[in-house]
């Protein structure tokens, strides 16, 4: 049997639900795993289409100047700098379109990017580049690859285990993605240098949700941490606390 | 009232920033560069001529897309593409329960696969996905520019997405087995 909310997921992601329905849908997605997964799939597709199709075909400079001449006011000849200027303007638009790939305007942020990364990792046949349960193997692997270092906690007396790590790129910057397991769930912990793109998230520890995922984010000594998983909020918080206590 | 020159300046300022997205849209519809250029050029010429009838303050972008779309629909490729429009009747197919979750499936799709699937869609479906997901137009804007009720926008969009999903599903699951 399909959930009655299922048909509204498209309109929800398109930002087309009434305010009341939008709120109700956000709430529903926190409790209905089926709809949350469907929404995640639809969102993935929407983002991928935007990425694959926008700016796919670009007018040639000759064509651009042909159109420019056709619409220019008759009594004015084109200044010689215009074509170059017009090209620069196109480049800016293309970049803007390229960056505008995240879908719901209200959620245009790095957390959406991070959620996508986490999901892609789970989908990947080789989720990590360095496979090890030993923090003393994983930590040095990042040295020389990242312009910063970070510490990993001792997990022996916890429910968590380390699976491995990989490089991650978010908002055009490199960082570390560490994959942990807890019972049947996997948790990603991302570490980046704190910068403008993350500032909106605030420095103090903060819990939030993005679709079916629980998130915990904070800054520490110039580094931005984001922990994300479909595991319970309590598990996510527990791992976050372990990471904060690492030395 | 504008004099002609002021009119043309306003038009130029409004229309030139739309050139790149309109051209991209035209190319996706027509499928090749020559036709895309013809479509865009004809759109700009028609729009400049008809600019007097454009109501300032209303949606200029949607107006331009509407002209381009109508130009396409009456072109040879457009007429051919819309002949077999069995659109609104086919049922939407839901994935089988044992299929891979789509979030994981689509995470594996690369840009080339998405593009090929989009190319394989019937024009009406490709068009509505482009307007909604790439141009990020609202349902209301799409309804106005395509001259259809909002309900039809929604049902067409959901059919378009479901065909897109089954195309990708076939490609991706087929490739793996
Ligand atoms: Zn549901």
CATH code of residue B137: 1.10.10.10
Residue B71 Cα, gap to closest chain A Cα (Å)? 16
Interface-testing mutation among B7, B105, B119, B133, with chain A (most A C-beta atoms within 10 A): B133
Q: Give the pLDDT confidence score for residue B50 in this predicted structure.
A: 86
Residue A61 lies in a domain: no
Examine the domain organization and report whether A20 and A130 are in the same domain: no
Say which residue the tokens 């929407």 belong to.
Answer: A46
Tell me: ipTM over 0.90.
no
Question: Quick check: B107 pLDDT over 90?
Answer: no
Q: How far apart are the first and last CA of chain B?
A: 66
Q: A29-83 pLDDT, tens per residue?
A: 989 888 888 888 898 899 999 989 999 999 999 999 999 988 887 644 444 444 4
Q: A110-138 pLDDT, tens per residue?
A: 777 787 778 777 766 677 888 888 888 88
Domain limits at A196?
A: 108-245
Residue B24 lies in a domain: yes
Residue B143 lies in a domain: yes
| Sheet architecture: strand order including A173-182 | A130-131, A160-170, A173-182, A185-193, A223-229, A213-220, A206-210
Q: Give the pLDDT confidence score for residue B175 in this predicted structure.
A: 60
Which pairs count as long-range contacts for A189-192, CB under 8 Å and 24+ apart, including other chains?
A189/A225, A189/A226, A189/A227, A189/A239, A189/A243, A190/A114, A190/A117, A190/A224, A190/A225, A190/A226, A190/A227, A190/A228, A191/A148, A191/A150, A191/A223, A191/A224, A191/A225, A192/A168, A192/A223, A192/A224, A192/A226
CB contact under 8 A, B115 and A53: yes
**Chain B residue closest in CA terms to A68:** B16
Question: Which residues in chain B are closer than 8 Å to A67, comparing Cβ atoms?
Answer: 16, 19, 40-41, 44
CATH code of residue B58: 1.10.1740.10
Average pLDDT over residues B21-28: 97
Kindly state the DSSP code that residue A143 receives in the 8-state scheme: B
Minimal Cβ distance to A2: which of B28, B40, B94: B94
Ligand 1 centroid distance, CA of A7 (Å): 10
Question: How many domains is chain A partitioned into structurally?
Answer: 2
Residues of chain B above pLDDT 70, percent: 81
Q: Give the pLDDT confidence score for residue A14 in this predicted structure.
A: 95
Domain limits at B144?
A: 102-176
Residue B103 Cα, gap to closest chain A Cα (Å)? 4
Query: Do the beta carbons of residue B139 and residue A14 sit within 8 Å?
Result: yes
Interface-testing mutation among B40, B50, B106, B164, with chain A (most A C-beta atoms within 10 A): B106
Residue B93 lies in a domain: no
Q: Of B82, B114, B140, at which residue does a domain stop?
A: B82
Question: Quick check: B55 pLDDT over 90?
Answer: no
Examine the domain organization and report whether B75 and B107 are in the same domain: no
Q: A3-31 pLDDT, tens per residue?
A: 899 999 999 999 999 999 999 999 999 89
Residue A24 lies in a domain: yes
Examine the domain organization and report whether A33 and A154 are in the same domain: no
Residue A167: pLDDT band (50, 70, 90) is confident
Q: How many Cβ atoms sit within 10 Å of the Cβ of residue B139?
A: 20
Ligand 1 centroid distance, CA of A21 (Å): 13
Question: Quick check: A246 pLDDT over 90?
Answer: no
**Cα separation of A132 and A148, whole Å?**
21
Chain mean pLDDT for chain B: 83
Q: Of B48, B82, B116, at which residue does a domain stop?
A: B82
Q: Of B82, B111, B141, at which residue does a domain stop?
A: B82
- Residue A28 parent element (H or E): helix A19-31
Question: How many domains is chain B partitioned into structurally?
Answer: 2
Minimal Cβ distance to A41: which of B101, B138, B154: B101
Higher pLDDT, B126 or A76: B126
Residue A58 lies in a domain: no
Residue B89 lies in a domain: no
Minimal Cβ distance to A67: which of B41, B115, B158: B41
């Amino acid at each position: 049997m399909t959930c009655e909310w299922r048909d509204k997921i498209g309109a929800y992601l398109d930002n087309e639900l009434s305010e009341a329905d939008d709120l109700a849908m956000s709430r529903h997605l926190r409790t209905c795993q089926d709809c949350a997964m469907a929404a995640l799939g639809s969102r993935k597709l929407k983002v991928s289409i935007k990425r694959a199709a926008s700016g796919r075909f670009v007018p040639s400079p000759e064509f651009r100047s042909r159109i420019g001449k056709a619409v220019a006011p008759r009594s004015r000849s084109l200044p010689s700098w215009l074509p170059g200027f017009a090209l620069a303007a196109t480049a800016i638009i293309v970049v803007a379109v390229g960056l505008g790939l995240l879908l719901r305007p209200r959620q245009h942020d790095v957390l959406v990017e991070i959620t996508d990364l986490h999901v892609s990792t789970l989908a990947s046949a080789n989720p990590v580049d360095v496979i090890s349960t030993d923090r003393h193997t994983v930590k040095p692997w990042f040295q020389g690859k990242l312009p910063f270092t970070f510490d990993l906690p001792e997990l022996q007396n916890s429910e968590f285990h380390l699976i491995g790590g990989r490089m991650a790129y978010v908002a055009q910057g490199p960082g570390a993605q560490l994959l942990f397991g807890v019972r049947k769930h996997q948790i990603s912990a991302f570490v980046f240098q704190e910068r403008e793109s993350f500032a909106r998230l605030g420095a103090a520890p903060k819990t939030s949700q993005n679709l079916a995922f629980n998130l915990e984010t904070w800054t520490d000594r110039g580094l931005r941490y984001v922990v994300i998983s479909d595991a319970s909020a309590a598990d996510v918080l527990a791992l976050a606390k372990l990471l904060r206590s690492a030395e | 009232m504008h004099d002609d020159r002021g009119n043309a300046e306003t038009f130029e300022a409004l229309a030139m920033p739309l050139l790149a997205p309109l051209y991209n849209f035209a190319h996706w519809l027509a499928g090749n560069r020559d036709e895309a250029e013809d479509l865009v050029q004809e759109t700009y010429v028609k729009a400049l001529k008809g600019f007097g009838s454009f109501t300032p303050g209303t949606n200029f972008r949607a107006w331009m897309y509407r002209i381009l779309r109508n130009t396409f629909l009456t072109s040879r490729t457009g007429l051919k593409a819309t002949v077999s429009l069995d659109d609104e009747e086919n049922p939407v197919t839901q994935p089988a329960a044992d299929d891979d979750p789509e979030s994981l499936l689509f995470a594996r799709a690369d840009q080339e696969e998405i593009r090929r699937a989009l190319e394989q869609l019937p024009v009406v479906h490709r068009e509505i996905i482009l307007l909604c997901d790439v141009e990020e137009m609202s349902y209301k804007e799409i309804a106005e520019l395509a001259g259809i009720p909002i309900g039809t926008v929604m049902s067409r969009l959901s059919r378009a997405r479901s065909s897109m999903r089954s195309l990708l599903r076939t490609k991706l699951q087929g490739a793996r087995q």
